[in-house]
Structure 1
Amino acid sequence: MSTEDIDLPTEVLIGNSTTPLGKIYLDWKPQPGNYLEIDGQAYTVLERRHNYQFRRGRYRLSKIVISVQTAQKDPERTYLEGRWIIGDASCIYNAKSEVLRCAVNPAGPCQGCSLREVAPEIEAEN
């Protein structure tokens, strides 16, 4: 990741409107389908567009514009290492993926799963 990609200004629009919800700075590039939380409200990213500026003889990414819709907070999603993953991140079987929950119970849910095992380093922290 180059220093240009860190803390890019991101304009957030609700749905297809042109009225911005606000401007935030992200250290990651949200993809459609990702979750985003702003002021305690959860949103799903619908679309991402890039704006470029010509500086010093080349085009550089200057800001990102994302269209979002409100979403319910999903207890089955966890923000981990810069991305949203499905399922309980403390379980040793969790795939740490946005697409696949785990190897032993891919359909979920994690709540009440008889195969759930907490990773030893997480147990030690509790």
Structure 2
Amino acid sequence: MSDRGSMLAQPLRMPPAGRVAAYVGLVVLGAVAGLAGALVQAGWFPGGLLLALVGAGGLFVGGARALDTRAGAVAPAAGWMISVILCTAGRPEGDFLFGVGGGSYLFLLGGMALAVICATIGLGRQPGGDGVRLGK
């Protein structure tokens, strides 16, 4: 059995082209999460808002953990913000995707706060090597 742990617990190791593709994929996932959250948060107000924010936060943290960089959290956050800002823009007919209620503002500000928190908090790296564990 390997002493390094499960392969699923390790960060992704990939060539530079694969890393760029992963960042682009995270931007697209962030945009989809922002659009889905914009629709869900108003539909089921208290639960939908929590679901949208937990989903966005999970995507931000998951991107950071998967790529083992802070940029892994910034990429989906950028996609999320772009899609949410585009959803807040009014159309010429006067239609809006977001309502005027407090839930929309909580979604916007809460999602932005989650993006900043997930992008700035360190990943909490563990030291490597054989002599770092107690009892060895």
Q: Same fold (TM over 0.5)?
A: no
TM-score under structure 2 length normalisation: 0.25
**Greater RCO between the two (CA within 8 Å, min separation 6)?**
2
TM-score under structure 1 length normalisation: 0.26
Q: Which has the higher strand share?
A: 1
